[in-house]
Chain A
Amino acid sequence: MTLTEKILARASGKTRVAAGDNVWVNVDVLMTHDVCGPGTIGVFKREFGKAAKVWDPKRVVIIPDHYIFTADSMSNRNVDILREFVKEQGLPYFYDVIDDPDGHWQFDVSKGQTQKQYGSKYTGVCHTTLPWKGHTRPGEILFGTDSHTCMAGAFNQFATGIGNTDAGFILGTGKLLIKVPESMRFFMEGAMQPGVMAKDVILHVIGDIGFDGATYRAMQWEGPGVYGMNMDDRMTIANMAIEAGGKNAMFPCDQKTIDYVNERTAENGTKSEFEPVELDGDQKFIYDKVFDLSKLEPTVACHPDPGQRKLAKEMSNVSLDRAYIGSCTGGKTSDFLAFAQVVKGKTVKIDTFGVPATTKVVQELKDTQWDGQSVWSILESAGVRMTENASCAACLGGPVDTFGRLNTPMKCISATNRNFPGRMGNKESQVFLASPYTVAASALTGKVTDPREFIS
């Protein structure tokens, strides 16, 4: 069996499952956020009754992260709906923007967009929060009401996005009926060359198979090249399985995975036992291809979808209006450090926005010193507009007052993961997806730029 089949077999109490089987699986963790949580709660109450209790409070994780730092009253209300539900159900894992469990969230416009406006529990983007707070474990089943839930596939777990109705069903029963996907294998050899990042790997692969090339399939990553990657790299790759239409991403478990997970579960007091799934000799793949990481170059996905692959060096004639670094895929500490390496001591030429994925990233950028200066201040000195308000922000457009949102037609290069028309705001805008290195180099020149020009 493939890794995905092994996990689904275990979760459905069977010794074997095969692609195409429909099985009921027991859910280990359900995650929801402020955009889909209120609807999920609505479905749960409509179907199971007003007094219903969730199947297991410890397995529900609620992370407000999408529309938080906005004056939009509906968005603020949606965070209140989550808080109300958490209180009523006694849910232990709620990363609220305010500390008062009886309070109401209201964004204070007068303080502006960049200054911190959250309490001690708030974390930021859900997919980056889950591993940080010890909610991802090898061998488990994670569902989330968000398509990039597949990011947790980096941790050798089955993780995928679902809608409110399915999530409401899980809240009441702890189970879901799913179809076992066929698996595709992406076998990585070699190592990435300087200037190339995990983001380039996944953009290359999506360009290769097409952005619906993995529809309803598991994308399994193997090979020495994969073991050479750190957990952040694996997360970047797993995150974008959905941009090829994939149901989930799946990485093998190694010592790096185990150390990462053990550290986070210990730090947060979350469940620490887990049982990884190991690679078998008899795996059946519907697609199997070897990639040489050392051959890859900085890659860009052009407007209007993540499959429009080009090399950065072929695009130096494309001028840009804006650069953006942030999101679950591209807003981790390692992403900002790569970005800072390129812009350090220089000045960006176009409007450049930086939105850390989590509040921990904010802290780490402030704490990391290079030549006596914090990385945060290196970025600000280079002209990057940094916000302390970690969230999804302009990655998905959002309400019109969202930090970094494209409110007029413009060309933006972005470290995020999705570039369909209108994704970051204005529907006539064009978004180019690239690695933090490439976004940084392009911010310096105002044109799409191969970062190797700036990396020695």
Chain B
Amino acid sequence: MSHTLTSPVYVCADNIDTDQIIPAQYLTLVPTIPEEYEKLGSYALIGLPDDLYPTRFVPEGGLKTPYKIVIAGRNFGCGSSREHAPIALGAAGVEAVVADSFARIFFRNCVATGELYPYDANERLCDVIKTGDIATLDFDADTLTVHGKTYSLKPLGEVRPVIDAGGIFNYARNTGMIAAKA
């Protein structure tokens, strides 16, 4: 993948749980079936309360989001173990989430699936950046630049090569932990 990504951002607050990322009624969709994967994307973040989030993440009737970067507060992805959550975001076209902190299973599912890069911010960005702002994420320098101001992010460290490889299976094969695909 390219080493920088420039996109409008979508900003949400603290404690966005998996029910808000992908509400339970859509969990009947099976992510490994291609049409259902696409559909999951169309419902990404549809559980956010309308009064707090008047801008829809995925436009009505669309499959993809214009926001390839999501900015969030503390504890993003808390709640259930549903892998549908990072997958819905990834299927909608999100490439990275930059948050104050992540819930454990969500973070792990991002890495395992290789769907998106879960970056920890060094300062609280969700208070200073607004939905629709254009940001550039530099994956090598670990920085996010918005309106000419550059914020440093915590390097992804040992999980970076796993996501680069496209998830744990590719990574495990590349590094000889499991046999190559027959």
Contact = CB atoms under 8 A, between A and B. Distances in A.
Do A and B bind?
yes
Interface of A: 22, 35-36, 38-39, 42-43, 45-47, 49, 66-67, 72, 74-75, 78, 81, 144-147, 149, 161-166, 168-169, 172-173, 177, 211-212, 215-216, 242, 245, 247, 304-305, 396-400, 418, 420-423, 427-428
B169 A165 contact: yes
B64 to A, nearest CB: 21
B138 to A, nearest CB: 27
Contacts of A177: 168
A39 B83 contact: yes
Contacts of B80: 146-147, 161, 396, 418
Interface in B66-81: 74-75, 78-81
Given A165-B109, A166-B112, A397-B23, A36 B182 contact: no
Contact of B83 (A74, A81, A164, A397): A164
B49 A428 contact: yes
A396 B24 contact: yes
B41 interface: no
Interface residues of B, number: 42
Contact of A422 (B23, B32, B168): B23
A126 to B, nearest CB: 12
B160 to A, nearest CB: 14
A427 B49 contact: yes
B28 A399 contact: yes
Residue from B25, B47, B113, B168 with most neighbouring chain A CB atoms (10 Å) = B25
Interface of B: 15, 17, 19-20, 23-25, 27-33, 47, 49, 74-75, 78-84, 86, 101, 103-105, 108-109, 112-113, 158, 167-169, 172, 178, 181-182
Contacts of A42: 30-33
Contacts of A66: 27
A427 to B, nearest CB: 6
A163 B24 contact: no
B81 A145 contact: yes
Given A46-B32, A146-B80, A422 B101 contact: no
Contacts of B25: 397-400
A149 B81 CA distance: 10
Contacts of A147: 79-81, 105
A40 to B, nearest CB: 9
Contacts of A47: 169, 181
Contact of A165 (B49, B101, B168): B168
A398 B49 contact: no
26 contacts: A35-B27, A35-B82, A36-B81, A39-B32, A46-B32, A74-B28, A81-B30, A144-B81, A161-B80, A161-B105, A163-B105, A163-B109, A163-B113, A165-B168, A165-B169, A166-B168, A173-B178, A211-B75, A245-B104, A247-B104, A305-B17, A420-B17, A420-B78, A421-B19, A423-B19, A427-B20
Contacts of A35: 27-28, 82
Contact of B23 (A38, A39, A427): A427
A163 B108 contact: yes
A163 B30 contact: no
A81 B24 CA distance: 19
Contacts of B101: 212, 215
A396 B81 CA distance: 13
A22 B75 CA distance: 23
Residue from B29, B81, B83, B86 with most neighbouring chain A CB atoms (10 Å) = B81
B182 A422 contact: no
Nearest to B115: A165
Given A161-B81, A420-B20, A67 B112 contact: no
B78 A211 contact: yes
B105 A162 contact: yes
A78 B28 contact: yes
B81 A162 contact: yes
A127 B83 CA distance: 19
8 closest cross-chain pairs (CB), A and B: A42-B32, A163-B83, A161-B81, A74-B28, A163-B109, A165-B112, A420-B17, A147-B81
Given A35-B27, A163-B113, A397-B23, A216 B83 contact: no
A42 B32 CA distance: 5
A304 B113 CA distance: 29
Contacts of B86: 163
B112 to A, nearest CB: 4
Contact of A169 (B32, B75, B168): B168
Contacts of B182: 49
B28 A169 contact: no
Nearest to A217: B104
A212 B19 contact: no
Nearest to B75: A212
B15 A305 contact: yes
B36 to A, nearest CB: 9
B75 A215 contact: yes
B110 to A, nearest CB: 9
Contacts of A305: 15, 17
Contact of B47 (A38, A46, A398, A421): A421
A215 B172 CA distance: 26
